[in-house]
Copies of this chain bind each other. A is one copy, B any other.
Amino acid sequence: MLAAMSSRIEVLYRVQSDAKSIAARAKAIAVEQSVEMPVEPIDDPYVLSEIVGRVDDIKDIGGGLFDVRIALASITTGFEAGQLLNMLIGNTSMQEDVALVDAQFPEEFADGFGGPRHGLAGLRARVKAKGALTCSALKPQGSTVAALAALAGRIAAGGIDYLKDDHGIADQSYSPFAERVPAIAEAVTRARGSVPTRYLPSLNGNLDDLRKQVALCRSCGLDTVLIAPMIAGLAQFHTLVKENPDIAFATHPTMAGAARIAPSFLLGKLFRLLGADATIFPNYGGRFGYTPDECKRIATFALEDWLDLKPSVPVPAGGMTLERIPEMLDFFGTDVMLLIGGSLLSTRERITEETARYVEAARAYQAA
């Protein structure tokens, strides 16, 4: 794809500074995220006009914070996922006074990256659901393949929509991917009733491993998988999305941090741009510290009309409980996938019944 020469990404950074330093600081960020050298010795007029980052706006938002808008040349990303991240925040991630809050991408990024191939409608269609979707997780790692398969069967029997590997379950000797995935896939298929429960194996390793794993998933009749883009590398994630248009990808936020990149941008917008059909994030009030506002913003970014991309399904998670279902659906609406793992597993021998209760609570929900 060809970028218009002047095409720019409008990036919003939040910068801690005092008023008299902010203009210079903003310019330094624009330079760091583009030519990364003093501008004075640059002679090339093309570099000066088309490549050097441009400070478009500085707004004092109070409390020693400034919203700085910087226009970065699209062409510097090479329209490649890893380099895109590198240009947005790479070196600046090492500076403690700056966070990447948001970015507006020109339309060619939608063409180049493509966004979710299935999205909300696709994930609903897979399990014949209309409202909020349900998901749970297979844990703990260290369990045998037989134990995980048995557990998966018992949860699938309760009618769950989606059932994912814990993100810590990779390719360890106690449950190798190549043994685990066929066994769990079979257990889920055997146990499920009217809901065509989907099992999402957690992909891991290098691109060779990831490709082999996707192929194995497909050979087991699976069409939905879990990947952690910040561990795999964005380029690997995006490569798999492009190569497997029939597979839906849910993303896990591990290693996403939050100190230098707003979770709403990374998990809601960037992962969506690269093809996340569903994006898991740590909900407020659980084990993680994201605020309700930031969580709402993740969901908004995942779902809103944007560049003609399909919506990603927001998946609030991280210590959620059955009791919170009405509150979560009030907060997020029903364009959502609930993810309740550990607390469901804590119901032990009642897990099939509790899963059914979970699914029923989600299905029966009526907005207040």
Residues of A in contact with B (beta carbons under 8 Å apart): 2, 28, 32, 34-38, 40-42, 44, 46-47, 50-52, 73, 75-78, 80, 82-83, 85-87, 89-91, 93-97, 139-144, 147, 166-168, 170-174, 204-209, 228, 231-236, 238-239, 253-260, 263, 282, 287-290, 318, 341-343, 345-348
- A209 in complex: contacting residue of B73, B87, B235, B348, CB < 8 Å: B235
Indicate whether A80 sits within 8 Å of B171 (C-beta atoms), given known contacts A40-B346, A140-B35. yes
Contact A205–B80 (Cβ < 8 Å): yes
Contact B86–A35 (Cβ < 8 Å): no
Q: How many copies does the complex hold?
A: 2
Q: How far is the CB of A86 from chain B (nearest CB, A)?
A: 5
- A82 in complex: contacting residue of B89, B140, B205, B318, CB < 8 Å: B205
In the complex, chain B residues whose CB is within 8 Å of the CB of A259: 96, 257, 259-260
Q: How far is the CB of A362 from chain B (nearest CB, A)?
A: 21
Contact A231–B95 (Cβ < 8 Å): no
In the complex, chain B residues whose CB is within 8 Å of the CB of A263: 94
Q: How far is the CB of A236 from chain B (nearest CB, A)?
A: 6
Contact A47–B228 (Cβ < 8 Å): no
In the complex, chain B residues whose CB is within 8 Å of the CB of A256: 93-94
- A140 in complex: contacting residue of B51, B233, B318, B342, CB < 8 Å: B51
In the complex, chain B residues whose CB is within 8 Å of the CB of A287: 28, 32, 95
Q: How far is the CA of A42 from the CA of B147 in the complex (A)?
A: 11
Indicate whether A142 sits within 8 Å of B89 (C-beta atoms), given known contacts A94-B257, A209-B235, A345-B37. no
Contact A41–B257 (Cβ < 8 Å): no
Q: How far is the CB of A18 from chain B (nearest CB, A)?
A: 16
Indicate whether A170 sits within 8 Å of B342 (C-beta atoms), given known contacts A207-B236, A208-B207. no
